[in-house]
Structure 1
Amino acid sequence: MINTRLLSCLAFIISLAACSSFLEATTSFRDGFDFSSVESYSTYGRNSSFGDSQNLSDTTRNTIELAIEQGFESNGFNYKTFQKADIIITYHLLSNRSADLDKYNQQVKYCSYCFRAGQASRAELLKELRSGSLILDIINPKNESSVWRSVYPLKFKEDDNSREMQEKISHAVNSMLRHYPRDKTIGIDTNAKRESA
Structure 2
Amino acid sequence: MTDGFPMSESLLGIGKTGPNNYGWKDIRSVVSPAFTTSKMKLMFPNIFERSQVLTNVLENKCQNDEIIDVYEEFQALTMDVIGRSAFGVDADSLNNRNDVFYFQCRKFFNELNFEKSLGFFLGFISRPLGYMIRPFASLYKSQKVISDNLRDVIVYRKNNFKDYKRVDLIQLLLEADDERQKRENVSF
Q: Is TM-score (shorter-chain normalized) higher than 0.5? A: no
> TM-score, normalised to structure 2's length?
0.27
The structure with the greater share of residues assigned to helix is 2
Select the structure with the greater relative contact order (CA < 8 A; seq sep ≥ 6): 1
> TM-score, normalised to structure 1's length?
0.27
